[in-house]
Structure 1
Amino acid sequence: MAVLRTVTLIGAVLTTGLSAGLFYSYACSVMPGLAQVDDRAFVATMQRINVAILNGWFLLSFLGALVLIVLAALLQWRGGGDRTALLWIGAAAVLYVGMIVVTAAVNVPLNDRLAAAGAPADLADPAAVRAAFEQVWVRWNLVRALAATAAFACLTWALALTGRSS
């Protein structure tokens, strides 16, 4: 049981780290880079990114992290693991669920509206489409990055605690 608890927690740490890294890379490179392009290029690129990201690898880490966090908490609770580590895993779960809520409530609807705007070449006012998207999306992506990074830190600490108690 201890090995399964550890392996599950390691998986939660890794998948949460991947999600945190994704949102971090958007915050510090993708969106600042796109801020430098014209409106049509911005809309076209974000539309393509939003289609490309919907793939199995992304979903495996994005949703798999939550599954592994919950499973790690259950194994820690039912398997007699370190209760302090369980609290940190619980904190990670709350943070990660918050990140998913922000994604579902803000970023995905913005992505959907951007897709519904149509082909960039056909837009009468690409600047207005961009303006309705960019600042809000960037701001809430930063919230996602911070929440996922905090969840990653909580899980990392929980893993360290379980290593100490072994």
Structure 2
Amino acid sequence: MTQRLFLLAALLSTGLMAGVFFAFSTSVMPGLRTVDDRTFVTAMQHLNASIQNGVFFLVFFGALVFPVVAAALFYRSGDRAAMWWTIAAAGLYLMVLILTVAVAVPLNDQLAAASLADATRARQDFEGTWVPVNHARTVLSTLALLGLGCAMVARWTR
């Protein structure tokens, strides 16, 4: 039962994160592409500030912690197929965290400190790197979700 709960928590948190990244890739950033620089910088400053909350952080970090715990539980029970799929998902999501911490967060911080008087420069320094990194996070987190789905199927067919 504990394995199922951690796998379900992993699926839920990873799916939610894939959805957040997907929403930014497919609607938020394309929508902001059409606005002026000051509006873009202001909007992203507010979005980046509002996403920093306990619920988001639980889901964001849970998408790594829950699969790791599930993999350990699968290992302990001898369910190697589910374990390997879950480890693969955790590895993919770890890459998401690395991209976030190494690239996206520093860009968010730089944009948060930017002056609207130099909004054009701030946007140029941010958008050209942040958008492709977010696309990569979308793909990686979606692949992690797929891996967790495969782990679930492996559990059912066992």
Q: With structure 1 as the length reference, what TM-score do the two structures score?
A: 0.93
1:64 maps to which residue?
A: 62
Q: d(CA) in 2 for partners of 1:65 and 1:130?
A: 30
- The answer on 1:93 being equivalent to 2:78 is no
2:71 maps to which residue?
A: 73
Which amino acid in 1 is paired with 2:121?
A
1:17 maps to which residue?
A: 15
1:37 maps to which residue?
A: 35
- Where in structure 2 are there 5+ consecutive unaligned residues? none
Q: d(CA) in 2 for partners of 1:22 and 1:92?
A: 17
Coordinate RMSD, CA, aligned: 0.8
Q: d(CA) in 2 for partners of 1:64 and 1:12?
A: 7
1:108 maps to which residue?
A: 105
SS at match of 1:36: coil
Shift of 1:161: 0.9
- Where in structure 1 are there 5+ consecutive unaligned residues? none
Q: With structure 2 as the length reference, what TM-score do the two structures score?
A: 0.97
Runs of 4+ that moved beyond 4 A: none
- The answer on 1:134 being equivalent to 2:132 is no
1:145 maps to which residue?
A: 138
Q: d(CA) in 1 for partners of 2:11 and 2:153?
A: 11
Please tell me whether Structure 1 or Structure 2 has the larger radius of gyration of its CA atoms: 1
Which amino acid in 2 is paired with 1:103?
T
Which amino acid in 1 is paired with 2:105?
V
Shift of 1:163: 1.1
Shift of 1:19: 0.4
Which amino acid in 1 is paired with 2:120?
A
Which amino acid in 1 is paired with 2:47?
I
- The answer on 1:164 being equivalent to 2:157 is yes
Q: d(CA) in 1 for partners of 2:12 and 2:156?
A: 16
SS at match of 1:54: coil
How many percent identity over aligned positions? 46
Shift of 1:80: 2.1
Residues 97-144 of structure 1: per-residue CA shift (max 9 Å, x gap):
0000000000000001001113x2xx1x31111011011100100001
